[in-house]
Structure 1
Amino acid sequence: MGHNLNKYINKPEDLETTYEETKIGFLSIALRKSKEANYYLGLASAFRTIVDDYEAPLDLIKNDDITISMCQAAGISTKAIGYLEPKDTKDLLTDFIQEYLITAGDSYVDQLINRFLLSQGDALGGRMRNIVGGVAGEKLTQNIISALRIRNFDFEYFDKHSKIWIKGEYFQEDNSNLVKAIKWKNGDKSRLLYYDLTVPVVKKNIDIVLFNNSNVNNKKTKEFKEFISDHHNYLALGELKGGIDPAGADEHWKTANTALTRIRDAFGKLNSEVFTIFIGAAIEAAMAKEIYAQCESQELTNCANLTKQRQLSEICDWFVTL
């Protein structure tokens, strides 16, 4: 067996996500969704406060402050609002009010708020898809930083909003979603980790990219482009799949496996060897066998199940000491 394989994985079954782990995953998504929904319920409440002041629904059109909220309730998309002339938008709102609000009589406010909430449901769905993907990255970041701290490696993280490097001592768990990159020192070695980076050698966006040095100013576009275009700078590349639904597990692995094969082929053509890793939350029996076999043959360098803390801690420690 390859010396790189996670020490907590001794057979394919060790990789499989259990019923209990899946249940906990679904529960955490449900709780997060409820938390995110509070924001949209707050919007609806604020909207209602204004609408309650109007007895005649058509008068709502005169209040420019709530035009966008009215449009959302009417099902007029953000793109449409941006494209249409204000007069045409008001005409559409007039049709909507006559068709659905005036006919609702005294309960027109309830009708309007219900429709507004329906439109916000779409926004919440989109937001949750991003959050579920992001939560996996946040968990990985937290565990990588834990490994760096325990080994007392000096590190900095790159904040995607402020676009500045921040010393590791200032990192807080709440900031995990803001981390775009991490760089650290291990003795005389320096390393640079990037998330979601389009790798020129592969011509695709890769979830996890580790460079074998951090000798670059990533804020200088030309310099950074040259750095990522040089295949000699790469050490490890990986795929991260955070979805917990067992029904989508196989599809996630197929997508990841295709990406990992593409990475090996692209670097192989340049006679450049890189490590490849896979970290996934939903791992079913057939997938586990395939992933384990790839690790045994050294096709895949290392792997971990995101829901199994020991495996995750182990791969992160391995990662920061490469």
Structure 2
Amino acid sequence: MSRPVVAGVDGSPESLAAAEWAAREAVRRDVPLHLVHASDWSPTQAPSAAASMVRRHVGRGVLRKAEDRIARTCPEARLTDEQVDGPAAEALSHAAQQAELLVLGSRGLSGFTGFLVGSVAQAVVARATRPVVLVEAGERSEDEHLPDEDGNTSLLTPYRDVVLGIDVSDPCDEVIEFAFESARLRGATLHAVQAWDNASAVALGSGAPGIGEGPRREEEWRTFLTAVLQNWRDKYPGVEVTETVVKGRAATHLVRAASGAGLLVVGRRVRETHLGRHTGPVTHTVIHHARCPVAVVAHD
């Protein structure tokens, strides 16, 4: 049985844009779309029957609003919905476990929105083991496509690039595969971006990129990137791939590359620290500043 694309909705413009993006993605993947509204409450509370009824009524209205929008913009989506109780971050993280991917709304430069005024989406990204895609308010189907010859938005032009943030010193199959598959589904170019600096070369060891200086060092990184991606090129022969190797901070270059992209794909290592789960500095930066949908793919 196919995993659905799951979208968390709360009635905000951000979550409605996320639901619409999720509907298009579900159609592309030929899987169902499942809408989830999480009624946030503390397990220490004991809501009355009347309060529970009001919460269910409000939740039903939120789901209906999202369903109506999808019916107008993506009627071919196969749609189901669900209301879940409990802390929203926990409920949505649990829903993500059964999903092909989870889609949530994001305010972009202003931070995260919705379920708990900014905290929930970020918490879900940090704990979910399945891919999570963050979508800004105002995101439209036309925005996934290149502008036409007159510079206008259009559904008739090719899809914008899928940008992959990659670290060739520790490449992750889950992240790379998600990016290639996303590009394949769209017929889009995959743009792989590898940023390096003097410190990052040390981890690769003797005989690896970083033994040269200046242009030679950059060329070594480029050679290594090409080698890492070759197996994926063979697996996805229909996907055109471009590569960028650049010196500097990865987050800065990824945000810049995402400015003209249809989707940015980055990874998040699943690990516990003394501060709990977190997204990592590069992913944390791009999910706050990238101006296109961002897919965060968890990996070991």
Calculate the TM-score normalised by the size of structure 2.
0.27
* Greater RCO (CA < 8 Å, at least 6 residues apart): 1
- Length-normalised TM-score, structure 1: 0.25
